[in-house]
Structure 1
Amino acid sequence: MTISYPNLRDTSRFPGFAAIPVEDLDTHELTPGRDGCLLLEILAFETVPSLVIGTRSTDLHLVTLRFEGPDQGRALSQCPHLKVGNTIAIMHARKHQFGIEVYGIRVFEYRALKIIPTSLDELLELSDEMRTWPLNFAAHQRCHWCRNVPDQIITCDGCGVIGYCNSGCKAGSWNVNKHKEFCAVIQNQNFRSLIAEMEHE
């Protein structure tokens, strides 16, 4: 299977909170809206008595996630990536009414939710960079720093994707081209599965 990279800024596939459908939990009817993957940055969270996460969407809405499944989010509250500043991706997200003209998202299961260990802005920046990458997270043959194609490239030991000519280029890539921030994200299985799933949506 060939994996190319979806543009995370594409609002037809990654809509903002205002654009997603509203789901009536009594009738399961949906108002018109854009189906896709909702990206949210974690601003705060509480784990007692149930998991509640405060987030910011790409269209700058403040969005509350309430976990109302059988374990009320207790399993997810143990996730090491559940941290302020990280990003949550929710496939086929639906708005739910919490009160009069107050909307958020009620989460009943975790299958459609992924936590990615970077901020929303950094994730979008990485998506921009990936538009020029070889497919399938293949190891790069072009140096990430100087853009030359050396006879023998040094591939990053962490992500196995980014390449360098030498230690000097590695330092430039790591410190200036932000691979220090992106390396762990590229390795993250939630991130890779999000890219694969959205490529085939």
Structure 2
Amino acid sequence: MLSLDTTLTFFGISILLGLSPGPDNVFVLMQSATNGRKAGLLVTLGLCTGLLGHTAAVALGLAAILAASATAFTVLKLAGAAYLIYLAWGAFRAPVGPLPTGLASPLNPWRMFSRGVLMNLTNPKVGIFFLAFLPQFVRPDAGPVALQVASLGGLFILAALLVFGGISWFASLVGVWFQNSMRAQRALNLSAAVIFIGLAARLAWSEKSP
């Protein structure tokens, strides 16, 4: 079992990490601003679902393979970069125009959720970060290591839900201001495309070592 001191320390650090600029919170911000609060929250749930996968990988020792294999790292990061470029192309081609009440295109919840999952799972840096970060708070005399890692992963996911949920809430308010301005919509779509390309480039050229 995790001690109260370890729990509070780890949770506080996780909140700070969630607030620091990075691909995930920028991704949530842009989806919320362009598609609304619900889209941002669905993307957040997708990202946190991806974190479940990384937590399980570390708990089971699978992430060690990723950390040791340059080939595995390269394949996964290129897949993630390709997906981000696909999102950039979609944002660039997104139609603009006023959205009359009741006539807006219905939101596809599965698409928003799966975007978050893919964004997270195809970023190998997350797996390596978890492999380096979570074990620092594990104590061999505090019970099964796998259970401690799972608990730490759950705390990190809770912190991510709180931080990214807050980003979704506030970013969606900005999106409402742009809702009926074609010029603003186009600028926002172009900004999203540029950010996605930047994230793709950052991921594609990232090194395996932290």
- TM-score normalised by structure 2 residue count: 0.23
Select the structure with the greater relative contact order (CA < 8 A; seq sep ≥ 6): 2
- Structure with greater proportional helix content: 2
